[in-house]
Amino acid sequence: MGVKFFGQYLIERGEVDAAQLRAALMLMDAENRSIGELAVEGRLISKADADKINAEQRHRDMPFGELACEMGLLSVEQIDNLVQLQWRTRLRVGQALVRLGHLANERLEELLVDYEEDQAPHRIENLALPNGLEGNAIAPIVLDLFPNLLMRVGRIATRVGSGEPVTEAPDFPIRVGVSVKGESSLLICLVGDEEFSRQLAAKASGLEPDALDTEMLVDGVGEFLNVLAGNAMAVAERNGIATELDPPRSEIGFEMGYLFELAVNVGQAALFLKPL
Amino acid sequence: MSDKKLTVLIVDDSRTVLAQIEKAVAANGAVEVVGTARNGAEAVKQVSQLRPDLVLMDIVMPDVDGLAALRLIQSRNPETRVAMLSSVGAMASKAEEAFRLGAIQVLSKPIDEDILEALLAQECERARS
């Protein structure tokens, strides 16, 4: 039902077990080559240069290609070619399972078709974004996933309005945000009145709405944002964009961001997105 | 057949998720929640003290995160079975790392209660045999 990677799907279907998947991952680790290894094999850089870049990566949290480019050792075009080569030649988890005899090739083909069908609702449509969010890879995914996840987690129907720039904090008592950071960074914040937040937190926790204190409302909204961000990051990762997630927080700077009004069937709420 | 219940430790920094999982786990009469923890460091300590049959643990947590805790649990108490339940569980990079470190399952949030129930039934069956 949710976004998931292929190995997880196979385990959930009972096609393989965790030990078989682990063996496949180890085979992939042994066979798949990094961008640095491919660059050395293709004689684009020397082994000493690759070691120099790897050493620099210990101090700076940057991808190998980006650092190589910054250090003048590889061009952008060479890095693009290496990424494509890595993508074309990479041993994938299904192939590794077949190679190890844990899955028949014909069965793999059937399962890949089923998996594509299972994940079809999570493919991203093209959405119109405000100028300041164009080019942000996470924002369109968040906007696309938001209505389905809000219905699934909070049983709340919604339509997302167009995003408008804001400079001040919206006038709602509950405001929670999570930061997605990496190759594309975004602050995702949900603001709402008590009725909206109470329904969302109650459905997310399985507790009675009246049993929830304010801390629990904030926690429930924060957990929903974790789920929204995590699912968006999984989709982004499939498109080659690596990100990390910070835990939810209530202190949020609302300058230079965009507020999307939400037409919801419970209370009032809005979604706030800000590129970081 | 033994009547001993499957003992479970739940680890998540969110009170909402702890409540949700406790409720789902309590619906299975063969399972007992023996403890909860709010971060990875607490989880490692509680695993050593409580020796649960199964740990259900989040990945993104403050201080010691779930993957770091999984590594420590597997090195100190390798018999412990750990399943990860996480909002980033659908990311291949996180899920693959969890499996490499010895996780028996990675469930992504929002939690599908049928899949959680199937996991608990499987672990109960395994504990009995």
A152 close to B (CB below 8 A): yes
pLDDT at B40: 94
Residue B37: alpha-carbon gap to chain centroid: 11
Domain membership of residue B90 (yes or no) is yes
What is the CATH classification number for the domain harbouring B75? 3.40.50.2300
Q: Which of B13, B74, B87 to mutate to test the interface with A (most CBs of A within 10 A)?
A: B87
Give the separation between CA A205 and CA A82, rounded to whole angstroms. 46
Looking at the complex, report in whole angstroms how far the Cα of residue A230 sits from the nearest Cα belonging to chain B: 4
Cβ <8 Å between B86 and A1: no
Give the separation between CA B63 and CA B86, rounded to whole angstroms. 16
Domain that holds residue B84: 6-123
pLDDT at residue B1 greater than cutoff 50: no
Delineate the domains of chain A, giving CATH numbers in brackets: 6-121 (no CATH), 131-275 (3.40.1550.10)
Domain membership of residue B129 (yes or no) is no
CA distance readout (Å), B91 to A135, A165, A213, A271, B97: 22, 31, 32, 23, 10
Q: Which residues pair with A187 in a beta bridge?
A: A179, A274
A149 close to B (CB below 8 A): yes
ipTM at complex level: 0.84
Number of domains in chain B: 1
Neighbouring C-alpha atoms within 13 Å toward the C-beta of A60: 14
How many CB atoms lie under 10 A from the CB of residue A159? Answer: 10
The chain B residue lying nearest A153, using CA atoms, is B110
Cβ <8 Å between A204 and B24: no
**Cα-based angle A197, B90, B78 (whole degrees, multiple of 5):** 110
Q: How many CB pairs under 8 A join A and B?
A: 112
Domain membership of residue B128 (yes or no) is no
Residue A150: alpha-carbon gap to chain centroid: 17
Helix (H) or strand (E) holding B116: helix B113-128
pLDDT at B23: 86
Share of chain B above pLDDT 90, in %: 62
Query: Per residue in B46-104, pLDDT tens?
Result: 999 999 999 999 998 888 899 999 999 999 999 999 999 988 888 888 999 999 999 99
The chain B residue lying nearest A226, using CA atoms, is B87
Q: Among positive and negative, which fits the CA dihedral A90, A93, A95, A100? A: positive
pLDDT at residue B14 greater than cutoff 50: yes
pLDDT at A155: 87
Q: Give me chain B's average pLDDT, please.
A: 90
Instruction: Report residue B122: phi and psi, to 5°.
Output: -65, -45
Facing residue for B95 by CB, picked from A8, A215, A245 = A8
Chain A hits for B14, Cβ within 8 Å: 219, 222-223, 226
Q: Which of B13, B14, B15, B16 to mutate to test the interface with A (most CBs of A within 10 A)?
A: B16
Looking at the complex, report in whole angstroms how far the Cα of residue A97 sits from the nearest Cα belonging to chain B: 14
The chain A residue lying nearest B14, using CA atoms, is A219
Q: Which of A179, A228, A231 to mutate to test the interface with B (most CBs of B within 10 A)?
A: A231
Secondary structure percentages of chain B, helix, strand, coil, to 5 = 45, 20, 35
pLDDT at A3: 66
Confidence of residue B2 (pLDDT cuts 50, 70, 90): low
As given in the structure block, the two tokens for residue A183 are 């190759």
Cβ <8 Å between A230 and B16: no
Residues lower than pLDDT 50 in chain A: none
Domain membership of residue B1 (yes or no) is no
pLDDT at residue B3 greater than cutoff 80: no
* Contact status, residue B54 vs residue B81, Cβ threshold 8 Å: yes
